[in-house]
Amino acid sequence: MARRVTLPDATGIAISRRQVVRLLINGKDSFMEEARDVLRAGLETAARATLDDTGARHKARNGVCTRIGNDRFAWFGTTGPKSRVSLLELLRASHGDYVINAEALACMRRRSPGNPAIRLLAEADDKQFADLAAWQAAWQAHLDRLGISALKVAPDPTQPDPTQPDPAQIATEGALWGSVKAHGLPGCSVIVSDDAGQFDAGQFSVGQFSVGQFNAGQFSVGQFSVGRHASCWVHAERLVHKLKHPRRAAPPRPAATTQADLALP
């Protein structure tokens, strides 16, 4: 912001920081709608799309800026801390609903096969919460009514990671993915990303199987792996450099040289 004020001042234009802010945000709704339409069209029609994120400051708080796009379109969105929920909310492309459908239940089963929340959601009559103004409150009330918010899952010692995901979180992630698929998103055949955990939310990985935490057998279990997923080759190359080679025998060190050895006869 300081640079946006300094540049006009340097050219003789007197302008305050508040005026600059007004110019930036005045009439922004049309730009927001255009950005939303770009994201929806890109996800519906692109053959592939890449996902990546980086740290960003927003409203004086640390956040994350996520980039979605390819060589034909690019979209950027800023959210709070990295999480599957934040990513799935971006992939909904401004749709404000939660949906319990076959895709949602399948996503939950892949993330947490024995989670009791899955049966409760599948048997409940309510399957969609589409009120944009109150969707979050309606969804939370649904979880409370079914008793999912209070569910606790005991650790499973037979799993590599005995800690089981929170049932309410699994339900929320699944319902968000159900909303994404209900709106025909992402329509692209392959999502490409790095090996980060928050990008795993969807179906299964393709490309570099068993790279990082993305893959557990056939289905992915990490953060960027949404829908059909491929790992970025640049990031995959990093793992090659982490491979440990057998330690080679160190060459013999030269014998110590003393002052006496250097003395002339």
Contact 132, 96 (CB under 8 A): yes
Q: Each residue's pLDDT tens digit in the chain (265 positions)? A: 677 778 877 888 888 888 888 888 888 888 889 999 999 999 888 888 888 888 888 778 888 899 999 888 999 998 888 888 888 889 889 888 899 999 999 989 888 888 889 999 999 999 998 766 666 788 889 999 999 998 877 666 665 555 667 899 999 999 999 999 898 887 766 777 775 655 555 443 333 322 233 333 233 334 444 566 676 666 666 666 666 655 555 566 555 555 555 455 5
DSSP state letter for 150? T
Alpha-carbon distance of 250 to 222, in angstroms, equals 40
- Strand blocks (E) in the chain: 48-58, 61-69, 74-79, 98-99, 128-129, 190-193, 204-205, 215-216, 219-220, 228-231
Predicted pLDDT at 222: 42
Tokens representing residue 176 in the block: 């968000």
- Give the angle subtended at the CA of 125 by the CAs of 124 and 131, to the nearest 5°: 110
Tokens representing residue 92 in the block: 């909904």
DSSP state letter for 257? P
Q: Is 0.75 surpassed by the pTM of this model?
A: no
Predicted pLDDT at 261: 52
Tokens representing residue 29 in the block: 């709704």
Alpha-carbon distance of 182 to 227, in angstroms, equals 13
Domain residue spans in the chain? 98-241
